[in-house]
Structure 1
Amino acid sequence: MEKKLTYEQAMTRLDEIITTLENNKASLDESIALYQEGVELAAYCDAKLKNVEEKVTKIYNGHGFEDYQEGQDGDNH
């Protein structure tokens, strides 16, 4: 799986996989490969969401938006 996917791209691909599997449009071997890809995509999306949740919690808990920006671009204004 391409790790540089955005969350939205990963979810779109996951939806495609689900549709293919639900509609029985793949052979057994293809279905297994798609299922494995889907599990990896779901884990990737879950990790992305947890990362965002941690950042939002840090901002919300009083560290402030400026602290968050400094961590993102490396500047220490």
Structure 2
Amino acid sequence: MKKELTFDKAFNDLAELVEEIEDDEIKVDTLAAKVKQANELIKFCETKLRTIKTETTKLRRGK
């Protein structure tokens, strides 16, 4: 069973990835994979935030 990704989980995973990416001893091949994963999490978080902004704007306008 695959668990649905939440904003909090994605954000926490992203924070961990940033720490790993900033490690001076990270291998280039590992770095590329970590950066790709981080980009995917960033896109997920951005989409989630845009969706929430749209929903709250609609609620404020009474739609």
1 CA distance for matches of 2:53 and 2:31?
32
Deviation at 1:23, TM superposition (A): 1.8
Indicate how the Cα distance of structure 1 residues 17 and 48 shifts in structure 2: closer, same or farther if over 3 A, else same. Answer: same
Indicate how the Cα distance of structure 1 residues 50 and 13 shifts in structure 2: closer, same or farther if over 3 A, else same. Answer: same
Where does residue 15 of structure 2 map in the other structure?
A: 15
Question: What's the % identity of the aligned pairs?
Answer: 27
Equivalenced residues, count: 62
TM-score calculated relative to the size of structure 2: 0.88
2 CA distance for matches of 1:57 and 1:18?
32
Where does residue 26 of structure 2 map in the other structure?
A: 26
TM-score calculated relative to the size of structure 1: 0.73
Where does residue 42 of structure 2 map in the other structure?
A: 42
Structure 1 segments, 4+ long, off by >2 Å, are none
Instruction: Structure 2: give runs of 5+ residues left out of the alignment.
Output: none
Q: Which amino acid in structure 1 is aligned with residue 40 of structure 2?
A: E
Instruction: Structure 1: give runs of 5+ residues left out of the alignment.
Output: 64-77
Q: What do you get for the CA RMSD once the two structures are aligned?
A: 1.7
Pick 1 or 2: higher relative contact order, CA cutoff 8 A, min separation 6: 2
